Structure 1
């Protein structure tokens, strides 16, 4: 099962929606947790727009004007929810991974900046973990570091970070190392690793090959984090399509002609054979859009890496904002093409 969390800093607008869809398709996500959606109410229509199809389950914590805005969406053929618990700063779904019949709980978190509020949330999460009585995965924006090197200029942990570290130890959780990113949050010349995935020992006993990596942050100042268990990545690849195909003039005509040309082959064989002309058509019609999006994301990451290594001047933030604006325009173009 492949799971991601991302502080998207607002989910309104076609650019942000396309950004999340790209993440889901690129990493073949089975579950995604979105933080700071800035949505007071979430409907099935909203979820389908975000996820791309109707085979989903979801739960959310709406905005109260000061905190929260959490949304957890999952493929209901992969995970089945049995129960749900909610707090102002966290969202817990308890259920079973269907393929392995593994009972577990996912807890999406968005922790406050205030130390007193943080300690209150640590107590709530301890209670919820005890209530669920299952292996747990805590993931999200913790607004706190665990090690000195996870924040710019960090040489020691403050009191709040020490208390967070003690809570992790008391809960017997493992802070998963991030394999390909040093930091997950950037703003100007500031940066830190405040987005994390914490796994219980029982979870790691079941999934010894769990790993955590980062994705392109695109239009947000946070990078998404992606946790995957390679043992579950097996079986045939599903047939996938893009929403933008169906709004492109000539797509249905091309499919109809190719389908007729395949004759009387069995349905599944025709679907498999259709992937070849579909791939050629997608590359011809959308290849430049994909290349431009990747180019902008790579340039944003290059600037982030420069900031991480201490290279910063007054022009870099302006360049990054310009790149984000261009990236958003191409996301929207791909959505509406």
Structure 2
């Protein structure tokens, strides 16, 4: 479907093609993955009816084969639903990662409880007082990252050299298609999608 839609869009810019693909992709998703819960519920109800028949003594090879087929179809929809929500979670994380949701606060609070320092050895003594532990920790890192005053130096004091015209031209050159492809293929395919909704796995298959 993607290949056919891609060819039909003609020679328009790549980003415009991705934007135009959202409509047929939404339609394809609705036709193939819409009402997943209803389909799973339907399979589960039929399987339950067969199990009731078996418990009542109505059982033969045909019933067993039908039950196996229904269970296999139901398992496929379970996998589809899991993949669907995995992708949805990544997409929502990319769009709303800066939102201070209740889930984020609960998660941070749980981690804070696990990361709590109850005791600390200071100058050979075991300390449990939280105020003293905080003060000792702050002083430790204050001394650790203390920077002595250094003489001020300018750009013309031998720190920066002027690059050659050849190096300057190389830096301003546009990347080749091979370099772009290499950079894309080095990215992890299952990473969260960008603002356009496409992850790297989709881009690679285009």
Q: Shorter-chain-normalised TM-score: which range? A: under 0.3
Instruction: Kindly indicate whether structure 1 or structure 2 has the higher relative contact order, using CA contacts under 8 Å at least 6 residues apart.
Output: 2
The structure that has the greater radius of gyration is 2
For normalisation by structure 1, the TM-score amounts to 0.17
Structure with the bigger percentage of strand: 1
For normalisation by structure 2, the TM-score amounts to 0.24
